[in-house]
Amino acid sequence: MIAFDAAHRAVHYPPDRRFRIWIRPSVLIILILCVLIPLILAWGENFLYGLPAMAQIPQLREGSMGGPHGFPGWIRWFHFFNFFFLAMLARSGLSILMDHPRLYFNDDCTPGSEWIRFTPLCVPTDRIWTAKDDARYISPIFACPGYRHTVGVARSWHFIDVYGFIIVGICFVIGLFITGQWQRLIPTSWNVPVQAWYTFVHYANFHLPPEPDGFYGYNALQQIAYASTVFVMAPISILTGLAMSPAVVNHAPWYARLFGGRQTARSIHFMMFCGYIAFIIVHVTLIVMTGFRRNMNHIVMGTDNLKPIGMILGFVGIAVVIASWFVAHYVSWKSPRALQHAQRAVSLPLFRATLNRFAPAQRYRRDQISPHFWPNGKMPTSEKWKSLEAGDFRDYRLKIGGLVEEPLELSLADLKNLPMTSCITMHHCIQGWTGIAEWRGVLMKELSELVKPKPNAQTVAFYSFGEGLYGGTYYETQQLADVLQPECMLAFEMNGQPLPSVYGAPLRLRVENQLGYKMIKWIERIDFIASEKQVGEGEGGKNEDDEYFDLLPNI
């Protein structure tokens, strides 16, 4: 475990560390029925007709089952690395989930509309309750890096490991079809589902059916389970992850609708995690019950015998995976900046070449505006901002300077006299919630044309009246090319009304292909600069400096 100073302990290790899972009763009933109905049918078949007859399968004679035999080295290594990456994805995913511990089937994320939550708290209605307040603690025993408010580090691990998971998966599938090993996994007969049901009836009635030797082939239920994991669950996990990208959803809203919406995609993503856990539990249980030593030799050594070497090396492999969790924990807290930079080195060029090129094109109707829009961030405490708020920001002046030919100082009235734009868009928070709102303001492109950036101005720095999580002036940066994109605006109205203080008055930034923390609120001034490395700790923003967030969060 990590020894925190007082400031970090208050954030990461709060007094209230209770954990509770609440599921909406209607959803819980459906889940119970999904489990009980197959079991009742299997019990009923056994009660009425007895266990279905299944032919005895020769156990050891090579050639008695069709398809390739044995496990070549590449399958055995991919099996290990798949487990390695999947375990890290699950652990980092739990840390990400705890930053907004609620799952929905609607994109409004209205408190009380979630179908499951991992917190004992209902959102209070007698005070401002931000999404940051709602985040929960999770033990680092189960999550990476664990604790509370560690979504930045968790995302670094999640992205690093998802690349490994995808590469291993693609190579594995290619290997299956090149070598003919696909015949082990993909059913080639309509009799397979029938035989799979017969096998399930035996299992459901606590009776082991005749088991084939896995070295030569799988039973029908195993075949369907393995094929579903490789060819259904894994692709769905990847595709629903992509459906949580603001760049994708705001450019092609139809893509998220394929899964029922952005939040439904997030829920399905979580369901796939549960599916992997269930698969591993059943998989390991059956490995133990049907001959642990022989089965371990199959997948570790590629041999079919009862020698102990496969079991021993298998435990060594599991120990290596568990040891990697301790290493990841150490790196998360001792070298988070190096981890952030490693993830950025891979993701930033990829995002700039792909997702960041997607121009926002979404359009929502007024009747789709969310009834609840989660507030977030620490309200400004500066006396200057409080004085401006008390005067309805009539005395507010936005200063735009830095590497520009024509520095400006504009009041809200001046801004409203410029050409304005409005759009109804979906906001994506790094914590996981979304909300639809109408924004009205001035395009950054218009302001850029007024101030005339110098040739060496490649970055725009926005400074807030607010503070970061650990104190200090909150700021964010954007590449000049990004602020010139369509719908990038300084908003001073929200849903047809002056921008409320809790949502960033007098001005907030809107960049619709990025996550919400880049859309800085309570803007005090703007500077055109040469590089993000010139401000703060050089990482591109207060969250990037203190919480190790991404520089370019297109997903």
Please report the DSSP string for 165-220 in residue order: HHHHHHHHHHHHHHHTTHHHHS--STHHHHHHHHHHHHHHTT-PPPPPPTTT---H
Per-residue pLDDT at 212: 82
3-state secondary structure of 358: coil
**How many C-beta atoms lie closer than 10 Å to residue 200's C-beta?**
20
Rounded-to-integer distance, Cα 103 and Cα 41, Å? 31
| pLDDT surpassing 90 at residue 1 | no
Angle between helices 336-353 and 151-179 (to 10 degrees): 60
What's the chain's Rg over C-alpha atoms? 27
Per-residue pLDDT at 66: 53
**C-beta of residue 181 within 8 angstroms of C-beta of residue 171:** no
Question: Percent helix, strand, coil in the chain (nearest 5)?
Answer: 50, 15, 40
Per-residue pLDDT at 64: 47
Rounded-to-integer distance, Cα 297 and Cα 314, Å? 9
Per-residue pLDDT at 7: 86
Rounded-to-integer distance, Cα 510 and Cα 491, Å? 7
**How many C-beta atoms lie closer than 10 Å to residue 184's C-beta?**
22
Rounded-to-integer distance, Cα 485 and Cα 554, Å? 14
Rounded-to-integer distance, Cα 541 and Cα 548, Å? 9
- Provide the CA 514 distance to its chain's centre, in angstroms: 14
Of 76-85, 202-211, 448-457, the least confident: 202-211
Rounded-to-integer distance, Cα 330 and Cα 405, Å? 48
| pLDDT surpassing 90 at residue 38 | yes
| pLDDT surpassing 50 at residue 58 | no
Rounded-to-integer distance, Cα 529 and Cα 540, Å? 12
Confidence of residue 62 (pLDDT cuts 50, 70, 90): very low
Per-residue pLDDT at 56: 60
| pLDDT surpassing 60 at residue 60 | no
Q: For the CA atoms of 517, 521, 526, 529, what is the dihedral angle to 10 degrees?
A: -10
Of 58-67, 364-373, 475-484, 486-495, the least confident: 58-67
**C-beta of residue 475 within 8 angstroms of C-beta of residue 520:** yes
Confidence of residue 195 (pLDDT cuts 50, 70, 90): very high
DSSP annotation of 404: B
Confidence of residue 486 (pLDDT cuts 50, 70, 90): confident
* Residue that has been written with the tokens 């990037």 in this structure: 544
Rounded-to-integer distance, Cα 535 and Cα 475, Å? 9
Mean pLDDT over 478-502 rounds to: 94
| pLDDT surpassing 50 at residue 528 | yes
Q: In terms of Cα–Cα distance, which of 460, 420, 422 is closest to 442?
A: 420
Rounded-to-integer distance, Cα 446 and Cα 442, Å? 7
Of 163-172, 178-187, 382-391, the least confident: 178-187
**C-beta of residue 146 within 8 angstroms of C-beta of residue 2:** no
| pLDDT surpassing 90 at residue 78 | yes
| pLDDT surpassing 70 at residue 59 | no
**Which residue type does 477 have?**
T
How much is the pTM? 0.94
| pLDDT surpassing 90 at residue 132 | yes
| b/e 259-281 (16+ beta carbons within 10 angstroms → b) | bebbbbbbbbbbebbebbeeeee
Cα separation of the two ends of the chain: 30
Domains of the chain, CATH where assigned: 362-546 (3.90.420.10)
Per-residue pLDDT at 5: 86
Confidence of residue 243 (pLDDT cuts 50, 70, 90): very high
3-state secondary structure of 350: helix
Query: What is the chain's mean pLDDT, rounded?
Result: 94
